[in-house]
Amino acid sequence: MDGTVLGLYLLATFIGGTTTGIAGFAMGLVVSGVWLHIITPMQTAALIVGYALLSQTFTIWKLRHTLSWRKVMPFIVGGAVGVPLGTMLLAYINPAYLRIGIGVLLVLYSIYGLAKPAFKPIQAGVPADTGIGFLNGLLGGMTGLGGIVVTVWVQLRGLPKDVQRGIFQPVILAAQAMTALSLALAGAYTTETVKLYLYGIPALATGVWIGLKLYGKLDEAAFRKVILVLLLISGFSLVVPASFVAGLFAMIR
């Protein structure tokens, strides 16, 4: 890997870390647009999961005063059932169609949310949270997008920003831990991948630190907008064909 490519890799890692620090998710969305053009898909997946475990653990620790296992466990229990079922359904469902469908829904939801000043909070209990955890795991098992459903759900619940992150980040961490185990069994963590991981830790740590500082300056309304914008970008990234993105990247280079 030459200096220019390494620089792109580290820059993407830094921006991904900053995004995680601010919003608590979406690192994979940020970095994959660059990484997939300079390293292999397997390395990209392994590094996203590896960095997510590091950054999510750190940010959850920093926000530990908001963590309530009583609130988090229904989502994790539901997800533990949904993830393997979603993986099994991959043999019968075309994930490309599913990604487009989810992408359209995210775009519509985000545009509506950005245009509307605020949602009327949804009142729900443990059964609903467990069901959302199941759907979140089901989608994660089929598409790798563990965390999207629960992130939207806590927004609809109208919870304070710290409480939102205290719920969806542990759920994402649990999903990433299961994914990391699967990748490790598949031999994804090669010597070259581990080297890249170590190279990127300082950039990631710096980005997360800056992101957390910026997060502390956001009020509830600003945080809501940040989440909606990231969900909007996530939706577009699912709808826009990868070949189109690759063409744009080639033109830029």
Please give the pLDDT value at position 249.
45
Q: Would you state the structure tokens that stand for residue 223, as one six-digit string?
A: 């945080």
Asked whether 13 and 31 are in contact (CB, 8 A), the reply is: yes
Q: How many other CB atoms are found less than 10 A from the CB of residue 141? A: 24
Question: From CA 105, how far away is CA 116, in angstroms rounded?
Answer: 16
Q: In this predicted model, what pLDDT tens digit does every residue of 144-180 receive, in sequence order?
A: 667 778 888 988 888 888 888 888 888 888 877 877 7
Asked whether 35 and 13 are in contact (CB, 8 A), the reply is: no
Of 245 and 57, more confident: 57
**What is the pLDDT averaged over residues 104-115?**
82
Please identify which residue in the block is written with the tokens 């979140």.
136
Please give the pLDDT value at position 118.
67
Q: Please, which pLDDT band fits residue 248 given cuts at 50, 70 and 90?
A: very low
Query: Does 237 score more than 90 pLDDT?
Result: no
Please give the pLDDT value at position 90.
65
Please give the pLDDT value at position 252.
43
Most confident of 9-13, 140-144, 161-165: 9-13
Please give the pLDDT value at position 161.
86
Asked whether 36 and 44 are in contact (CB, 8 A), the reply is: yes
- Lowest pLDDT segment from 8-22, 68-82, 92-106, 127-141: 92-106
**Angle at alpha carbon of residue 232, lines to 153 and 213, rounded to 5°:** 80
Which residues, including other chains, have CB under 8 Å from residue 147's CB and lie 6 or more apart? 25, 136, 140, 168, 171, 172, 175
The dihedrals phi and psi of 187, each to the nearest 5 degrees, come to 75, 30
Q: In this predicted model, what pLDDT tens digit does every residue of 182-197 receive, in sequence order?
A: 778 778 788 999 999 9
Please give the pLDDT value at position 160.
86
Please give the pLDDT value at position 116.
72
Burial degree of 191 (CB within 10 A; 0-12, 13-18, 19+): exposed
Please give the pLDDT value at position 143.
64
Query: Does 244 score more than 60 pLDDT?
Result: no
Q: Average per-residue pLDDT in the chain?
A: 81
Please give the pLDDT value at position 224.
81
Dihedral in degrees, nearest 10, Cα atoms 59, 63, 69, 73: -40
Q: Please, which pLDDT band fits residue 206 given cuts at 50, 70 and 90?
A: very high
Asked whether 15 and 200 are in contact (CB, 8 A), the reply is: no
Asked whether 177 and 147 are in contact (CB, 8 A), the reply is: no
Question: From CA 228, how far away is CA 155, in angstroms rounded?
Answer: 9
| pTM of the predicted model over 0.75 | no
Of 16 and 180, more confident: 16
Q: In this predicted model, what pLDDT tens digit does every residue of 124-137 receive, in sequence order?
A: 889 999 999 998 88
Distances, alpha carbon 227 to alpha carbons 123, 177, 198, 231, in Å: 20, 23, 29, 6
